[in-house]
Amino acid sequence: MGIFQISLVVSDYDEAIHYFTRVLDFELLEDTQLSETKRWVRVAPKGSACSLLLARAANEEQLGRVGNQTGGRVFLFLHTDDFYRDYNLWRSRGVRFIREPSKEEYGIVSVFEDIYGNLWDLIQPV
């Protein structure tokens, strides 16, 4: 068994696609129109076995969860093989890091916010 997909509630499909593919360099795996208002949109870091399903909020309750699916805790953990390459590139593209890089026993880590305010750990494991 394995987790292969996680749903991320977003406010706009195209805005989310742009952010994840142009800013974070994820791949657009699928963008299928399901109805006039619903699409099946999947993105993932290159080579990742797990993808994000970008799910546009369908009502006010879901819209209220955009950017805060975990009540302010770090939501997603992204491994990299070159921390400072990605950290510096993303900073130059406007990604907001809310915690400076630090060396921990498990690797180099920093916390950043995505376009909606979800918190992510960027980690280069040891």
Enumerate the CATH 3.10.180.10 domain ranges in the chain, comma separated. 1-58, 72-126
- The pLDDT value recorded for residue 119 is 97
Q: Mean pLDDT across the stretch 13-21?
A: 98
Q: What's the CATH code, domain 1-58?
A: 3.10.180.10
pLDDT (tens digit per residue) in 29-82: 999 999 999 999 999 999 999 999 999 999 999 999 999 889 889 999 999 999
- The pLDDT value recorded for residue 47 is 92
Cβ within 8 Å of residue 46, ≥6 positions away: 25, 26, 27
- The pLDDT value recorded for residue 89 is 98
For the question of whether the overall pTM of this predicted structure is more than 0.85, the answer is: yes
pLDDT (tens digit per residue) in 75-107: 999 999 999 999 999 999 999 999 999 999 999
Q: If pLDDT is split at 50, 70 and 90, which confidence band does 122 have? A: very high
Q: With residue 98 as reference, give the H or E element that holds it.
A: strand 96-104
Please name the residue that has the structure tokens 């491994």.
79
The Cα-based distances of 93 to 22, 81, 86, 97 in angstroms read: 9, 19, 10, 11
3-state secondary structure of 34: coil
CATH architecture of the domain with range 72-126: Roll (3.10)
Please tell me what DSSP assigns to residue 118: -
Compute how many other C-beta atoms are within 10 angstroms of the C-beta atom of residue 15.
14
Q: Mean pLDDT across the stretch 110-117?
A: 97
- The pLDDT value recorded for residue 114 is 97
Q: If pLDDT is split at 50, 70 and 90, which confidence band does 123 have? A: very high
